[in-house]
Structure formats: structure tokens, C-alpha cells
Amino acid sequence: MAETITLGKALNHGLRRALENDSKVVIMGEDVGKLGGVFRITDGLQKDFGEDRVIDSPLAEAGIVGTAVGLAIRGYRPVCEIQFDGFVFPAYNQIVAQVAKMYYRSMGKVRIPIVIRIPYGGGIGAVEHHSESPEAYFAHTAGLKVVTCANPADAYVMIQQAIASDDPVVFFEPKRRYWEKGEVDLDIDLAGAYPLHASRVAREGTDATLIAYGPMVRVALDAATAAAEDGRNLEVIDLRTLSPLDLDPVYASIRKTGRAVVVHEAPGNVGLGAEIAARITEECFYSLEAPVLRVTGYDTPYPAARVEEEYLPDLDRVLDAVDRSFGW
């Protein structure tokens, strides 16, 4: 049964299905129960599954994740909600020192099937600490899987796949896209769904490759549509998985187009774009017609809401990078 729903509602449906399918799945976080979460992603779940499975926690991110570690060791599959991206840092030690390392430390004897959901990115006019892009911190940490959805169909499937994974998954949700709608197959069989840790061609093209993830996939697609009016056929790759990176579709695309532009909201310095550009250069050097270019947020703290549109990569900045690529 296919429905046209928002990305936020798709996540809600995905969480509901995970709760229905496995009694060991529990959701925990600040205001996830009676309120249904700040963005209402968990709306109605506590009412239907009870306070023992959808748990309103204290205002303590380190406590939320630390408790989830204990639950995971005892066989549960906890799903932690971090209310906003900038609030994850009190739990950073738990995530990188415990969640990421427990399997390695126990020589494979202890699994930590935890999902840490983090709404991230800007574009909603929020105040300080509410519009961060901290994905590189976690992608850099061995032992963590890091993924991000860009549309409702992926959101519905990927959240269920993440919960079913025996590895800890940091699940980044593009908060500016929560209200965007798309068609979702609510009856999809996860066994036959697109893999969790796999990139995907979001739009085919021949002249240059745009590589994006999460909130920037929509920007890249819009840029490709605009470029088509000028006779340029751009291919768009939605990475979907940030650790491990699945770059085979990227390499295949660049061997076809010869040009690459990487787009993300996070600052450029030591960001995902730098790693992607390095790997493309290593693997596709003789196919490149121009250097790999990056369009990113600036290397500053996230600005006040009134000027955030000056900070975020937009269609014009992406198209300018494409023009520069063809100028080499």
C-alpha cells in the first residue's frame, strides 16, 4: 500500500512497524512519549505501546545513551532520540568511548544494536545549538555506522533497517525536510529493500556528477533541473550512508561524466567532502576533466537564524561550482 506522506510521518510509521515486529525494541528520549517528540516523530507511539517501550527520559543525553548501552547488553534494541543536533555533545563520550567500542573491546562477544536518532542541519530558523551538522565527528569514529535519509521512502525503510542492524547506527534526519512529501510503500518487504549501506543514483546524467546527502539532496536535484535549462545534464548521487561510504556508484558516475561537485551543509574543513574528494582522486584520477570541487557550509559557528540562508549551500552556489568545473 503506497501513500503520499511527509518524511516525518514516514519515520513515525517506520518506528511503529519496528515496535510491532520486535518486542525488544524500545524508544527513549526527552519528550518522546506524551508529547510525541519536538517534531512529533514519535507521536502516538507511547499511547499504543505503553510507557515501558516509549520512555520519556530526563534531560540528560549522557544518561539516555548510557542507559541504552546497558539495555543493548541485556538484549534490547534501544532507539535513542537526541532532541536537536547540538544536544548530542553531552553524550559524545558515551557514543565514541562505549557504543562504538564495546564490540571490539569484547572481542566480538557483545553486540550493541543501538540506534541514535539525530535531527540535523539548518533551514528552520532555530536558535543556537539547534542547527548543527556534526556528522563528520561520528563518521570518523571506527565502530559506528552513520546513515542519513533524504526522502520519505528512504526514511521509512532505513529507520527499520537501522533498528534491525546488530551494529550501532547514528541515524541523521534532515529536519528541514521533515515536512516534504513523497510516495512510500508501507507494505515493502525489508528483505528485498534497497540496502542500508548503499548509495543511489537519484538522477541520471552525463555531463557532471553532484554528490550529496541528507538535506542537500533536494538542493542538488533542483540544481540539476536548473542546469538542464542551460543544456547541462547533471547526475545526482544520494550517498545515504556516510560510514561506511559506498562510493562505487560515485566512481562509476565520474568515469562517465569526468566532473564532480560534492555538496554538504557542514563546514568544509576536514568534512565528508574532503574525504570523498580524496577517494575520487585516488580512484578516478585519469577520468577527471577538472578538480573535485566542494560546496559546503562556511568554517564558522552556525550563524543566527536571520542570516542562515547566507550560510547554507543553495542552488546558485552549486551551479557556480558546476560552472567553475567546466571552466578548467
Tell me the CATH number at 252.
3.40.50.920
| Same domain flag for 100 and 157 | yes
| Same domain flag for 171 and 217 | no
Residue 16: what pLDDT? Answer: 98
Q: H helices then E strands: how many in the chain? A: 12, 14
Q: Which residues contact 1 (CB under 8 A, 6 or more apart)?
A: 185, 186, 187
Which amino acid type is present at position 272? L
Catalytic residue among 13, 129, 130, 140: 130
Residue 3: what pLDDT? Answer: 94
| Same domain flag for 208 and 79 | no
CATH number of residue 151's parent domain: 3.40.50.970
| Same domain flag for 119 and 238 | no
| Same domain flag for 35 and 148 | yes
| Same domain flag for 180 and 87 | yes
- Residues 178 and 181: their CA atoms lie apart, in Å, by 8
Phi-psi region of 85 (alpha: psi -120 to 50; beta: other; left: phi over 0): alpha
> Looking at 164, 192, 220, which one is the last position of a domain?
192
| Same domain flag for 170 and 214 | no
| Same domain flag for 212 and 119 | no
Total tally of structural domains belonging to the chain: 2
Q: pLDDT tens, position by position, for the chain (328 residues)?
A: 789 999 999 999 999 999 999 999 999 999 999 999 999 999 999 999 999 999 999 999 999 999 999 999 999 999 999 999 999 999 999 999 999 999 999 999 999 999 999 999 999 999 999 999 999 999 999 999 999 999 999 999 999 999 999 999 999 999 999 999 999 999 999 999 999 999 999 999 999 999 999 999 999 999 999 999 999 999 999 999 999 999 999 999 999 999 999 999 999 999 999 999 999 999 999 999 999 999 999 999 999 999 999 999 999 999 999 999 998 7
Give the single-character DSSP code of 194.
Answer: P
CA distances from 267 to 220, 296, 298, 301, 307 (A): 17, 6, 5, 9, 16
| Same domain flag for 103 and 236 | no
Beta-bridge partner residues of 80: 28, 116
CA distances from 9 to 4, 25, 146, 153, 184 (A): 10, 19, 21, 11, 10
| Same domain flag for 215 and 302 | yes
| Same domain flag for 18 and 141 | yes
| Same domain flag for 167 and 306 | no
Domain of 317, in residue numbers: 200-326
> Is 129 among the residues known to form the active site?
no
> Looking at 192, 216, 238, which one is the last position of a domain?
192
> Looking at 137, 157, 192, which one is the last position of a domain?
192
